[in-house]
């Protein structure tokens, strides 16, 4: 009952006339009080004159309020500007009264009409105080009752379909928090103007910040599964908390709980719909297999482990050198009732250790996700990047080939395409070595290449979240920088799918749609956090980091694609390599030039013609490599000699 009363008062157009009536009553009442004060709280004044003056005052007051619009303000939000507006209204009333009395004295239009000027002055003061006090009293009472007697949220539901109705029922049935559904929003024009349980349905165009402010909307809940990305971005730009109902299959026992309604995540704002892979062959592919996952404690590795554990694998081997993170993955598996796994702390650079693991567990499949991936750090440590990303991959691949593992799936990156950094170049070298090994091995070597993974360790999303928690600013290297993005589950599905469809030697890539502008992503993250840009959180441009690209690519120069059964998964058709020569150069690079960063980078540039450093100290070597290529035709010996003297 009380809640309905407050709802009634909060309706802007239903309450303003009531405010006008109350204000008019207060003005007339203070006029009577002014007479009482003037005549020492007695009725020793001409009541006949008083009742003649009263209609005139009511007319003047109504005209003044209509002119100034003081009754239109939302009383519970009364501020200084509203008090000033009241002062203007009282001034107009006093001016009308004084003007009427003065004119009547000169022209004697109504002989019996007059208002003592002392009454006019006293009435003006009393009216101003009374009107201001009434608003203050109402505001204080409203806040008190709102806080003490009612704990409710005013919400809008986006989607007037079955999911929207279920969401409505879940909200009104909730016992911990009282929700008041103000309205439904739907894209279907045929539903506009209709209602559900007396609650109006209207189009998205009606929802703006003014509407949200005037109707005191606390939250907008998205109950529509098929909401367009553009519509979702428009909603995120509003000054309101945006939450989302999970898919029906995630409801508990087929029923929606209010606790399941979560805040919209940045993943929901990707420039494409989520990529889904529904391949029934996955179940058969991993049934009875012994699978090794390296980097099992990392973002991709841990998700691979999670998804593989749901298949009927014979045994799952988790390999990582980060013991604490590996322990966490192990405990998660145990809590989910998984026990057919072994967690092993090991370094993939240790060939003897890797050989022992293969000998003891005899794996039939390998998913290699272990790698150094931070571009600026690897730019300063080429030797470490070579050790892990190239030599580690080489040792693991050689061991897999030696033990006749059926399939070896390598997790690469789009930074390996036309690399501009040491990290990207090392991943490209690892791809090349695997391609070389495929020529002589019974193992099927398969590569997956994809863009940035939302929420992965070291990615921009956790960094932005941490910076928002600390009050900002968000740091961005360049305003125009763009990246391809996918979610961790999407990336893991790609890797598993590659392990299923791969025949050996392929590089699988995603058609990831349009690249995402990181600046826009940063703005959206601020808004999703319930803050405003730039008022609450600013964005600071710091400049490109060493080795960093302005944009990423999925195909190198000279590469084309072949289609697969899934329209979003393509196979990169790479250019031919001189396999014997490339393999020999990679093997040499892995065992020589210890800590000699310049020599390492120079040799990588010779090996990968498309490797051009960007915003890095190693840019100076690109010109030297060009000179080397020019003199290479003279004679190989002279070329090597000239190269060594550059």
Residues noted as catalytic: 415
Long-range contacts of 458-463 (CB under 8 A, 24+ apart): 458/373, 458/374, 459/299, 460/518, 460/521, 461/266, 461/525
d(CA 77, CA 299): 48
Half-sphere exposure of 215 (CA within 13 A, CB side): 19
Query: Among the residues of 558-612, which ranges form H helices?
Result: 579-591, 597-607
User: Taking a C-beta distance cutoff of 8 angstroms, is the pair 448, 409 a contact?
Assistant: yes
The torsion angle over the Cα atoms of residues 389, 391, 392 and 397, rounded to 10 degrees, is 110
d(CA 521, CA 452): 13
d(CA 244, CA 265): 9
At which residue do the structure tokens 């996700």 appear? 369
User: Taking a C-beta distance cutoff of 8 angstroms, is the pair 196, 184 a contact?
Assistant: yes
Tell me the sheet residues that pair with 487.
454
Bridge-based pairing state of the strands 219-222 and 241-244: parallel
User: Taking a C-beta distance cutoff of 8 angstroms, is the pair 549, 614 a contact?
Assistant: yes
Tokens of 430: 């690892």
d(CA 508, CA 411): 10
d(CA 266, CA 168): 25
Query: Among the residues of 290-408, which ranges form H helices?
Result: 299-308, 323-335, 351-361, 375-380, 382-385, 393-402
Tell me the sheet residues that pair with 179.
153
Query: What are the helix and strand counts (H, E) for the chain?
Result: 23, 22
d(CA 174, CA 171): 5
Q: State how far Cα 266 lies from the chain centre.
A: 2
User: Taking a C-beta distance cutoff of 8 angstroms, is the pair 373, 410 a contact?
Assistant: no
d(CA 432, CA 427): 9
Query: Among the residues of 470-540, which ranges form H helices?
Result: 488-501, 518-528
d(CA 313, CA 308): 7
Asked if the peptide bond before residue 199 counts as cis, ω within 30 degrees of 0, the response is: no
Q: Which helix (H) or strand (E) holds 475?
A: strand 474-476
d(CA 76, CA 137): 9
Rounded to whole angstroms, what are the CA distances from 393 to 244, 317, 370, 371, 386?
41, 17, 9, 9, 10
Nearest to 291, CA basis, from 390, 388, 357, 372: 357
């Amino acid at each position: 009952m009380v809640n309905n009363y407050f709802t009634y008062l909060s309706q802007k157009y239903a309450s303003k006339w009531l405010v006008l009536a109350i204000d008019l009553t207060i003005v007339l009442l203070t006029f009577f009080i002014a007479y009482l004060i003037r005549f020492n709280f007695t009725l020793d004044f001409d009541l006949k004159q008083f009742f003649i003056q009263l209609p005139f005052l009511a007319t003047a007051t109504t005209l003044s309020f209509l002119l100034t619009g003081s009754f239109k303000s939302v009383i519970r939000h009364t501020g200084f500007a509203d008090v000033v507006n009241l002062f203007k209204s009282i001034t107009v009333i006093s001016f009308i009264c004084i003007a009427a009395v003065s004119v009547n004295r000169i022209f004697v239009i109504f002989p019996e009409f007059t208002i003592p000027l002392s009454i006019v002055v006293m009435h003006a003061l009393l009216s101003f105080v009374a009107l201001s006090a009434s608003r203050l009293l109402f505001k204080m009472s409203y806040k008190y009752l709102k806080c003490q007697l009612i704990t409710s949220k005013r919400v809008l539901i986006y989607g007037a379909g079955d999911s929207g109705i279920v969401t409505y029922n879940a909200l009104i049935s909730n016992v911990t928090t009282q929700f008041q559904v103000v309205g439904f929003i739907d894209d279907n024009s045929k539903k506009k103007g209709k209602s559900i349980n007396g609650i109006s349905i209207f189009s998205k165009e009606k929802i703006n910040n003014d509407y949200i402010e005037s109707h005191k909307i606390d939250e907008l809940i998205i109950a529509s599964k098929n909401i367009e990305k553009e519509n979702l971005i428009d909603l995120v730009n509003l000054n309101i908390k945006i939450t989302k109902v999970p898919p029906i299959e995630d409801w508990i026992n087929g029923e929606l709980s209010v606790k399941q309604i979560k805040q919209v995540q940045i993943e929901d704002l990707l420039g494409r719909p989520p990529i889904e892979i529904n391949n029934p062959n996955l179940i058969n592919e991993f049934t009875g297999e012994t699978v090794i996952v390296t980097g099992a404690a990392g973002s991709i590795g841990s998700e691979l482990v999670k998804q593989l554990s749901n298949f009927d694998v014979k045994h799952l081997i988790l390999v990582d050198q980060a013991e604490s993170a590996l322990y966490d993955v192990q405990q998660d598996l145990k809590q989910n009732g998984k026990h057919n796994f072994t967690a092993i702390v090991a370094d993939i650079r240790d060939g003897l250790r890797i050989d022992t693991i293969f000998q003891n567990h005899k794996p039939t499949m390998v998913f290699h996700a272990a790698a150094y991936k931070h571009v600026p750090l690897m730019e300063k440590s080429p030797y470490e990047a070579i050790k892990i990303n190239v030599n580690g991959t080489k040792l693991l691949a050689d061991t897999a080939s030696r033990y006749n593992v059926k399939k070896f799936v390598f997790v690469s990156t789009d930074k390996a395409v036309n690399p501009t950094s040491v990290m990207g170049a090392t991943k490209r070298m690892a791809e090349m070595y695997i391609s070389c090994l495929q020529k002589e091995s019974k193992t099927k070597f398969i590569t997956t290449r994809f863009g940035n993974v939302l929420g992965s360790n070291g990615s921009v999303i956790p960094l932005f979240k941490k910076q928002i928690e600390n009050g900002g600013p968000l740091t961005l290297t360049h305003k125009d920088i763009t990246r391809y993005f996918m979610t961790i589950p999407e990336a893991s599905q790609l890797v598993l799918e590659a392990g299923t469809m791969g025949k050996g030697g392929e590089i699988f890539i995603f058609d990831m749609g349009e690249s995402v502008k990181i600046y826009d992503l940063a703005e959206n993250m601020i808004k999703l956090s319930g803050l405003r840009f730039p008022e609450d959180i600013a964005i600071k441009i710091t400049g490109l980091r060493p080795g960093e690209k302005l944009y990423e690519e999925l195909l190198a120069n000279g590469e084309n694609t072949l289609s697969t059964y899934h329209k979003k998964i393509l196979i990169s058709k790479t250019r031919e390599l001189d396999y014997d020569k490339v393999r020999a150069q990679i093997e040499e690079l892995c065992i020589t030039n210890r800590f000699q960063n310049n020599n390492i980078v120079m040799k990588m540039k010779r090996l990968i013609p498309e490797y051009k450093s960007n915003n890095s100290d190693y840019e100076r070597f690109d010109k030297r490599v060009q000179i080397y290529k020019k003199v290479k035709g003279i004679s190989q010996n002279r070329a090597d000699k000239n190269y060594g003297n550059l």
